[in-house]
């Protein structure tokens, strides 16, 4: 197994920090790149109604949701020491586990690192690559 690309799905909880720190440490050992992914939920029915009323583009979460996610992503990355590790961030919109699996396949990640949680079981069956779950030590 050659670990070149590691995908870390985050929801900005403290668990996300644990997973990201683990992934960065592993990436340093393996000389891998780390992609941090947040999946924002698709807009709810009422949000779609608001989009229609406000004449905004359809299918996107409210702008404040995306702006909030970008700010939290920046804070998460800033709070994680990652010197010497190539780290990129991405925010996608969609169903969580399906989007994680799609991104991992599209960008040829060799490993997904996450803290066990609600989506873990789904990820175990959908992941196109090995899945590493870790808890805080």
Partner 1 sequence: METVQKILVPTDFSDGAGFAMREALDLARSLGASVTLLHAYQLPNFMLPDGSVVLTTADTHAALVQSADKQLREAVDVASAWGVPVSTLTREGPAAEVIARVAEQGQYDLVVMGTHGRTGFRRLLLGSIAEKVVRTCTRPVMTIHYPSHPSPVTHPPLP
| Alpha carbon distance 48, 50 (integer Å) | 5
Q: Which of 25, 88, 90, 98 binds partner 1 (CB under 8 A)?
A: 25
| Alpha carbon distance 26, 3 (integer Å) | 9
Residue 63 interacting with partner 1 (CB under 8 A)? no
42 CB burial (10 A radius; 0-12, 13-18, 19+): middle
Beta strands (DSSP E) in 4-107 are 5-9, 33-40, 87-93
Residue 121 interacting with partner 1 (CB under 8 A)? yes
Residue 129 interacting with partner 1 (CB under 8 A)? yes
Residue 15 interacting with partner 1 (CB under 8 A)? no
Q: Give me the least distance between CB of 47 and partner 1, in Å please.
A: 33
* Residue closer to partner 1, measured from CB, 51 or 122: 122
| Alpha carbon distance 81, 120 (integer Å) | 25
Residue 83 interacting with partner 1 (CB under 8 A)? no
Residue 32 interacting with partner 1 (CB under 8 A)? no
- Of 89-108, binders to partner 1 (CB under 8 A) are none
| Alpha carbon distance 128, 38 (integer Å) | 18
Tell me the two tokens of residue 76. Answer: 């998460």
**Contacts to partner 1 by CB under 8 A:** 1-3, 21-22, 25-26, 29-30, 111, 116, 120-121, 124-125, 127-135, 137
């Amino acid at each position: 197994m050659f670990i070149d690309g590691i995908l870390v799905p985050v929801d900005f909880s403290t668990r996300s920090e644990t997973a990201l720190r683990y992934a960065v440490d592993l990436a340093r050992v393996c000389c891998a790149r780390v992609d941090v992914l947040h999946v924002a939920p698709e807009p709810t029915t009422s949000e779609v109604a608001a989009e229609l009323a406000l004449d905004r583009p359809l299918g996107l979460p409210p702008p404040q949701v995306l702006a909030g996610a970008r700010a939290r992503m920046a804070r998460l990355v800033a709070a994680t020491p990652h010197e010497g590790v190539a780290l990129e961030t991405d925010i996608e919109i969609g169903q969580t586990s399906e989007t994680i699996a799609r991104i991992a396949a599209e960008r040829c990640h060799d490993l997904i690192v996450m803290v066990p949680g609600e989506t873990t079981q789904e990820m175990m069956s959908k992941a196109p690559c090995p899945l590493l779950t870790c808890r805080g030590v």
